[in-house]
Amino acid sequence: MDWLFEYLPDQGVLVITTAGPVTPDSLPEFLDAAVAESDRLGTRTLLVDHRDSPVELSLLDFHQLPRVEIKHGLTDKHRVAFVVATATMAMNGVRHYENREFNNGLPRRTFLDREAALDWLLNGPSPR
């Protein structure tokens, strides 16, 4: 998976656009890079656009994702909105992932629309 960083200074949002498959093997490097860029910019608000990235994660991968995120520095202090393709949203794992994140106190949501994702990021409670 490849990614491109873009910073929206007026909103304080790091936008990450990905291309290529999201796999369990691609996530550690991606998470490390995203957290490093977030730290460099001094923001903890991220919009991750996976619309051009097929998600190749099993239900078990989705289940383990909160733990993987925390291990790589993406914590409850980061507010993250994911924008995904319709086919990805239909996967059972996406809703399971959101429920696991919510139950672990991690502010994460998944959207089909980038504007809705940005609205949620900017109008929800700030990360701790």
* Rounded Cα gap, residues 76 and 79, in angstroms: 7
CA distance linking residue 106 with residue 127, whole number of Å: 9
The DSSP call for residue 15 is: E
**Domains delineated in the chain:** 2-121 (3.30.750.24)
Tens digits of per-residue pLDDT, 46-86? 999 999 999 999 989 999 999 999 999 999 999 999 999 98
Pairing of strands 45-49, 13-19: parallel
Give the pTM.
0.92
Angstrom CA distances, 87 to 33, 59, 112, 126, stand at 26, 15, 10, 30
Please give the pLDDT value at position 89. Answer: 75
Q: In this predicted structure, what is the pLDDT of residue 95? A: 87
